[in-house]
Every structure is written in structure tokens, then in C-alpha cells.
Amino acid sequence: MKITGWIMRPRETLTDQQEERLLEVRLACPDITRACDLARAFADLVCNRRGFFLLEWIRKPSKMPRTR
């Protein structure tokens, strides 16, 4: 549950220790890195009212390299 919280919270609200731990997890697991990037991109779409980029965001995972 901690990792999910770190991913979903804005970066500026993470402590230095949380940011460091999230980086360690991201480096250890490419799937979490992809999930984190996609979640943060989606949050940016919603928070900044950029719905016109939604189709591009939906297509993005298919363009990302597979990890397995």
C-alpha cells in the first residue's frame, strides 16, 4: 500500500526518504516504473484539465517497451 500512495501523491508532498524508496522500487521493477509514469501522466491530465490528451494517454502503454 505504501508504494501506491507514493505513486498517487504529488511528488512535492513526498519526504526525501519516500522519494528515495520510490526510486529504489522503480529501478528494481520496470512494471512499477511504467505504472508510476502512467498514473502520474493521468493525474496531470485530470488536475490540469487536459482531457484532449486522453486518447494519446490511452494509446501510450501500447507504445511502451514490454518488460517481459
- Look at the alpha carbons of 67, 61, 12, 4 in this order and tell me if their dihedral is positive or negative: negative
Query: What is the C-alpha to C-alpha distance for residues 43 and 61, in angstroms, rounded to an integer?
Result: 15
Residue 6: what pLDDT?
92
Q: In this structure, what C-alpha cell is assigned to residue 52?
A: 484532449
pLDDT reported for residue 63: 64
pTM as predicted: 0.71
pLDDT, mean of residues 43-65? 81
Distance between CA atoms of 3 and 16, rounded to whole angstroms? 14
Q: Which among 62, 58, 9, 6 is positioned nearest to 32, based on CA atoms?
A: 6
Mean pLDDT of 20-38: 92
Q: Band the pLDDT of 1: cuts 50, 70, 90.
A: low
**H or E segment and range at residue 62:** helix 54-63
